[in-house]
Every structure is written in C-alpha cells, then in structure tokens.
Amino acid sequence: MTQKSKHFTTRNMAVMAILAAIASVLFMIEIPVVLFYKLDLSALPVLLGTFAMGPVEGIIILAVKALLGLLHSSSQGVGELADFIMGLAMLLPAGLLYRHMRTRKGAILGMVLGTVVATVAAVFVNLWIMIPFYSTAYGMPIESIVEMGQAIVPAVNSAFKFVLLITAPFNLLKWTVISVVTGLIYKPLSPLLHGRR
C-alpha cells in the first residue's frame, strides 16, 4: 500500500470527516475569557485525529474545519485564517514528535512542544493579522485596543506588550486545556479512532 493510499483509505476519510464536523460545531461554542479572546475546544478533534492517523490527516481536518467556518464567519475569513495558522503550529510539532515516539511520554512532550509553538505563533498572528484587522474592521485605533489591554494589565503600553502580556497567557491557557483534555480522552477513544474493538 502506498503512503498516499494509507492516508486516504475509506475509513480514514470517514473518521476525518466526522472529526472535522465535530471541530466545526465546537468552533461555534465559545467561552469568553478576556477582552475579545474566547476559548473554544475546536482543536481537540484535530489533535485527536493527528495522534490517531498522523499530521497529514490532522492538517486535512484543520483545513476542513476552517473552510466550514467560512460559512458563518464574522471576520471575513481572517479569524479562520488565524485559527488555521495557530492550529498548524500546535498539530505539526505534537504530531511529528508523537509519530517518532508513540508512547504516552511522546504524546505529552509533543503537546508541550506544540503548546509553546502555538503560543508563540499566536503572538505574531495577533500582532500582524488579528489586531490590525479588528482595528480596520471596527474603526478602532490600535491605541484604543492597547488601552483596553492596559485596563486589565497596567504594563501594556504597546501592541507588542498587548500580545505578550494578554494574548500569550490566553493562548497558553487555551492550548494547555486542549492538551490536558486530549491526554485524558485519547486512550479511551483510541480503539474507536483506530477502528479496533
């Protein structure tokens, strides 16, 4: 069996479709945390699929989730692009490390590495994409966004300090929560994900 056919077996495609659908639903369920940052668990099915089938399948699940998100996007697709980039930053390190170390330790190390990379990616995605978008879309000067952050964290006095002191901690929390939940449910769901009874 070729590598390509291993990725695109009927069963794998069905599992990817189900996980992408679940991720899309979870993408719409958001818990407000701070300012305009909301916690959602839509990356959970993506990470489960990555661990069960591999990084290629994880990327496909993530891409389908992003495309489905465009159907109800309130950010003209910018939010979905940012989510895709940050999801990629999580699943690639986690998936590739787990692929070479298929143990509980490998999964944990992969998720720790992924959490760090995704948090760093979130800083730059927010600095270069999301904050400029919100500033333009809502006619809000970046200085006003900085002031909103300063009301919560007094040390925030620039866009960079905003993403460093507000965006980074939020994403660290988000990816830690997703990693912990993944760690708790992956083993019980593993037979189902792998087609074993």
Asked if the structure places residue 3 within a domain, the reply is no
In a domain, residue 22? The reply is yes
Tens digit of each residue's pLDDT (9 = 90 or more) over 22-70: 999 998 888 999 888 899 999 999 999 999 999 999 999 999 999 998 8
Residue 1, in any domain of the structure:
no
- Residue of 112, 120, 125 whose CA lies nearest to 83: 125
Q: Is residue 54 part of a domain?
A: yes
Of 19, 12, 15, nearest to 41 (Cα)? 19
Position 59 scores a pLDDT of: 96
pLDDT tens sequence across 79-95: 889 999 999 999 999 99
Mean pLDDT for all residues in the chain: 90
Distance between CA atoms of residues 114 and 96, nearest Å = 10
For residues 144-153, average pLDDT? 93
Locus of tokens 């939020």: 170
Domain assignment present for residue 174? The answer is yes
Is 2 inside any structural domain? no
CA-based nearest residue to 116, from 83, 89, 96, 92:
89
Distances in Å between the Cα of 9 and the Cα atoms of 6, 52, 77, 115, 190 are 6, 14, 30, 30, 18
Question: How far, CA to CA in Å, does 6 sit from each of 11, 26, 46, 72, 76?
Answer: 10, 28, 18, 33, 35
Q: CATH number of the domain that 185 lies in?
A: 1.10.1760.20
CA proximity to 126, closest of 76, 165, 178, 152: 165
Let me know if residue 17 belongs to a domain.
yes
Model confidence band, residue 1 (pLDDT cutoffs 50, 70, 90): very low
| Residue 140 confidence class, pLDDT cut points 50, 70, 90 | confident
Residue 34 is predicted with a pLDDT of: 82
Mean pLDDT for 102-129 is: 95
**Residue 60 included in any domain:** yes
Distance CA 41, CA 162 (A): 23
pLDDT at residue 20 in the model: 94
What is the crossing angle of helices 168-194 and 78-100, to 10°?
60
Q: Residue 184's domain spans which residues?
A: 8-194
What's the whole-number mean pLDDT along residues 6-35? 88
DSSP state at residue 42: T
* Total domains in the fold of the chain: 1
Which pLDDT does position 5 carry in this prediction? 52
